[in-house]
């Protein structure tokens, strides 16, 4: 009986270590390996991103962008309970697409409704990023592009 109790304690303690946050081999910073999802049509350099900002500040940046510019990518994160967003601004050439639509901070149900609506209008989902808040609720950031008519 004593061996069984020891075995049980060892098994439980080994499980508790395997369920913790993982660290990368090149960094001592903790990284939550299941913190989000990202699907990109093109890679972006870190230097291309804006600073992290609130959802409202991101909206102001969007509204104040120069004519002919668009958010080619936007991403979000949960930073200590605060939702933060940043973006990559690019020139919208209209070469392959005639319109764009970008959203950030969408809940699962909001994303579904908007995604369905945009696809029915002929838009293609270009870039998608999802992060989870502290409760596990997902928030979506997405760019849709409307291809030029053939």
pLDDT in tens, 18-72: 333 332 222 222 233 345 667 767 778 999 999 999 999 999 999 999 999 999 9
State the total domains in the chain. Answer: 1
Domain assignment present for residue 102? The answer is yes
Compute and round to an integer the Cα radius of gyration of the chain: 21
Q: What percentage of the chain reaches a pLDDT higher than 90?
A: 66
Give the pLDDT confidence score for residue 40 in this predicted structure.
67
Phi, psi (degrees; rounded to nearest 5) at 63: -70, -30
Residues spanned by the domain of 136: 36-147
Q: Which residue has the higher pLDDT, 135 or 14?
A: 135
Is 26 a member of any domain? no
Q: Answer yes or no: are the C-beta atoms of 134 and 115 closer than 8 Å.
A: no
Let me know if residue 103 belongs to a domain.
yes
**Residue 24 within a domain:** no
Structural domain contains residue 11:
no
Structural domain includes residue 95: yes
Domain assignment of residue 6, yes or no: no
Q: What are phi and psi of 139, to 5 degrees?
A: -125, 130
């Amino acid at each position: 009986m004593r061996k069984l109790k020891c075995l049980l304690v060892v098994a439980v303690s080994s499980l508790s270590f395997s369920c913790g946050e993982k660290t990368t081999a090149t960094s001592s910073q903790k990284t939550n390996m299941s913190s989000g999802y990202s699907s990109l049509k093109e890679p972006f350099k870190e230097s291309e991103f804006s600073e992290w900002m609130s959802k409202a500040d991101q909206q102001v940046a969007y509204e104040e962008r120069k004519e002919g510019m668009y958010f080619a990518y936007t991403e979000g994160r949960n930073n200590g309970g605060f939702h933060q967003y940043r973006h990559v601004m690019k020139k919208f050439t209209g070469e392959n697409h005639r319109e764009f639509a970008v959203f950030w901070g969408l809940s699962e149900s909001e994303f579904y409704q908007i995604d369905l609506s945009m696809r029915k209008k002929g838009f293609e989902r270009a870039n998608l990023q999802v992060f989870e808040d502290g409760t596990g609720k997902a928030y979506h950031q997405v760019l849709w592009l409307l291809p030029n008519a053939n």
